[in-house]
């Protein structure tokens, strides 16, 4: 059995985009992932499918594991010769008890490494538009545990020093003690009207912020239902929030949105959602696979010079076609004289990137518009090659045949079921999702299969479609579409989300 190894990794404050590159690497190589309550569930998806996941989360109400038990898990699993990644919210050495875990590993002779994370003490105020320092207001800040009872006789918190001057004070884990924190600071000299803020679930879609003054903040927080996990910040810098807040101004702020596209395509939509302040969760309802009978595409490409028209109805078709084209060691000049058709601008771009000129792009990005546009262009007897999904609708080849064309309808790829699992079901059941996006009829059909046909899970969740064909499929299956892209593209779908998602 080989020597085990432990990584003590800071997972950041909540936004999965704030995980460090090294932290992501450690999650990916782990045999065992030991994680906390405040770690974003999206970070768990970075682990290998065979990685053992152990939840050791703690909350103010209860502890799933004691710290000694957590230490023992780290030692035991590493002694089995496994790579263990201990994933903690924020930074492991900022009130994360990472120092205690490091000591336990050292005592047991287990090699370890610390991977710092972005602490919520700085990141959460920043996401609320509050800098912890500012040249005109203060050049110091202090991070304090708010978990200690401020009334105990032997407090380790230097209240006199915290209350003096104009330095920023950030309290972590202090919501239970918020009234006493305010009292202590005022008692030792802080102005009652000092700006103070509470930020709950900072950097996440649930983030909300309260700004008041020190002698009122506890009362206002209770009135508005603020609770743990929250960061408390006291100091003149809090007054800058009104001017500097940025996250809440983004059009999709607060929206958690499920992306159902195939994994190799999802990133474009996911990035657009997150650039606009939303949180994208990728649960591919479809995956792309080779067609059942790949020899048909191979045969068509071998005879490519015999066609007058080559029609692509997706980027996937373009990529599958040229993968086989290159496998046969074909020369791009063999496409000379063939008119190329693309269903939309994205598919057109995929062809143009290969140095090809597209003869026709319909004004409306669906098969019916292709037929309308080609009706006066395709001559009787001309040969048309369609390179598209195996399960695509019959309307396009049948309509072209009706024009007198000789049509080769060749499957370039097929879509198969993606993966969702228990996590998707849980997110929907907890109503932690605000919207689901569908980019094809296949994504609708397979998504319903992923949730076991439990359409009731989608009650109260808005559904968005990329176009009328996808919307029609959804309605046939009993779903209500809340928003449909005016232009049948990812950009159009994003515009529909901006218009229709109200969190």
- Catalogue the active-site residues: 36, 58, 173
HEC string of 357-368?
Answer: CCCECCCCCCHH
How far apart are the C-alpha atoms of 247 and 244, rounded to whole Å?
A: 9
Residue 101 CB neighbour total at 10 angstroms: 24
Angstrom distance (rounded) from CA 175 to CA 278: 27
CA distance 290 to 41: 32
* Nearest CA among 215, 219, 210 for reference residue 238: 210
97: its two tokens? 């008890």
For residue 128, how far is the Cα from the chain centroid?
20
Structure tokens at 470: 């996808």
Please state whether the peptide bond connecting residue 107 to the residue before it is cis, i.e. omega within 30 degrees of 0: no
Is residue 415 within 8 Å of 445, Cβ to Cβ?
Answer: no
Q: Residue 383: is it exposed, middle or buried by C-beta count within 10 angstroms (0-12/13-18/19+)?
A: middle
Report d(CA 12, CA 87) in Å as an integer. 10
Q: What is the DSSP string of 42-67?
A: HHHTTS-TT-EEEE--B-SS-BSS-H
Token duo for residue 4: 């085990």
Among positive and negative, which fits the CA dihedral 266, 269, 275, 280? negative
Whole-angstrom Cα distance, residue 269 to residue 261? 9
291: nearest Cα among 409, 419, 450:
409
**Calpha distance 415→286 (Å, rounded):** 6
Task: Give the integer Cα–Cα distance in Å for 154 and 159.
Answer: 12
**E runs forming strands in 253-404:** 256-259, 279-282, 286-289, 309-312, 339-342, 383-389
> CA of 428: how far to CAs of 274, 420, 431, 452, 497, in Å?
20, 11, 5, 12, 18
Q: Are 339 and 308 in contact (CB under 8 A)?
A: yes
d(CA 350, CA 67): 54
DSSP element (H, E) containing 332: none
| C-alpha span between 162 and 168 (Å, rounded) | 9
């Amino acid at each position: 059995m080989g020597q085990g190894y432990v990584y003590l990794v800071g997972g950041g404050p909540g936004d999965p985009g704030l995980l460090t590159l090294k932290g992501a690497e450690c999650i990916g190589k782990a045999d065992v992932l030991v994680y906390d309550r405040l770690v974003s569930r999206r970070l768990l998806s970075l682990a290998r499918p065979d990685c053992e996941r152990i939840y050791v989360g703690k909350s103010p109400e209860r502890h799933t594991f004691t710290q000694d038990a957590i230490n023992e898990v780290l030692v035991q699993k590493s002694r089995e010769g496994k790579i263990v990644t201990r994933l903690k919210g924020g930074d492991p050495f900022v009130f994360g008890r990472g120092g205690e875990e490091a000591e336990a590993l050292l005592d047991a002779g287990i090699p370890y490494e610390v991977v710092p994370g972005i602490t919520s003490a700085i990141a959460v105020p920043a996401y609320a538009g509050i800098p912890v320092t500012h040249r005109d207001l203060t050049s110091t800040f202090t991070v304090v545990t708010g978990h200690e009872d401020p009334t105990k006789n032997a407090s380790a918190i230097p209240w006199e020093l915290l209350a003096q001057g104009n330095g920023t004070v950030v309290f972590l884990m202090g919501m239970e003690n918020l009234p006493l924190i305010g009292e202590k600071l005022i008692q030792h000299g802080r102005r009652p009207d000092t700006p103070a803020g509470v930020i709950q679930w900072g950097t996440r879609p649930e983030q909300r912020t309260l700004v008041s003054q020190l002698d009122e903040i506890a009362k206002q927080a209770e009135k508005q239902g603020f609770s743990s996990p929250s960061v408390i910040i006291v100091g003149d810098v809090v007054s800058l929030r009104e001017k500097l807040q940025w996250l809440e101004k983004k059009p999709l702020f607060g929206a958690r949105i499920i992306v159902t596209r195939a994994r190799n395509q999802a990133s474009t939509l996911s990035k657009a959602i997150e650039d606009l302040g939303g949180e994208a969760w990728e649960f591919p309802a479809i995956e792309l696979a080779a067609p059942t009978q790949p020899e048909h595409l191979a045969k068509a490409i071998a005879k490519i010079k015999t066609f007058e028209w080559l029609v692509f109805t997706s980027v996937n078709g373009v990529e599958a076609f040229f993968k086989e084209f290159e496998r046969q060691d074909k020369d791009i000049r063999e496409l000379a004289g063939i008119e190329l058709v693309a269903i939309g601008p994205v598919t057109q771009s995929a062809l143009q990137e290969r140095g090809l000129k597209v003869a026709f792009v319909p004004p409306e990005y669906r098969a019916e518009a292709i037929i309308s546009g080609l009706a006066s262009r395709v001559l009787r007897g001309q040969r048309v090659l369609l390179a598209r999904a195996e399960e695509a609708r019959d309307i396009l080849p049948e309509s072209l045949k009706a024009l007198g064309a000789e049509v080769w309808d060749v499957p370039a790829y097929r879509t198969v079921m993606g993966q969702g699992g228990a996590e998707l079901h849980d997110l929907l059941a907890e109503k932690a999702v605000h919207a689901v996006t569908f980019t094809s009829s296949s994504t609708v059909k397979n998504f319903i299969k992923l949730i076991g046909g439990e359409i009731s899970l989608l009650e109260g969740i808005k559904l968005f479609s990329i176009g009328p064909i996808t919307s029609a499929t959804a309605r046939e299956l009993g779903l209500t579409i809340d928003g449909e892209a005016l232009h049948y593209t990812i950009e159009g779908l994003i515009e529909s989300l901006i218009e229709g998602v109200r969190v």
